Amino acid sequence: MTAYSLGVEIACDGPGHERGCPESAAIRASSASMTAAEVRADGRVDGWARRRRDDRVVDLCPACKTTP
């Protein structure tokens, strides 16, 4: 049997630490993106952002990054 890497999927951390993403948004790995850093780079093209919240870094989809 041969195992193949399926890549990485990054999910939105939601607009607040107590609220999840209302769209359950996620960045899916393209066939060329195999690491979390590569997938996040794909997401930045689509408007995703990484921000610091409560001493940790979170991933936010385009809808959640503009929600206060």
The 10s digit of each residue's pLDDT in 42-56 is 899 889 999 998 889
pLDDT at 2: 76
pTM for this predicted structure? 0.77
Are residues 9 and 48 in contact, defined by beta-carbon separation less than 8 angstroms? no
Is residue 21 within 8 A of residue 12, CB to CB? The reply is yes
**Residues listed for the chain:** 68
Q: Rounded CA gap, 1 and 47, in Å? A: 39
The residues, ordered by sequence, that sit 6+ positions from 30 with a Cβ below 8 Å of its Cβ are 7, 39, 42
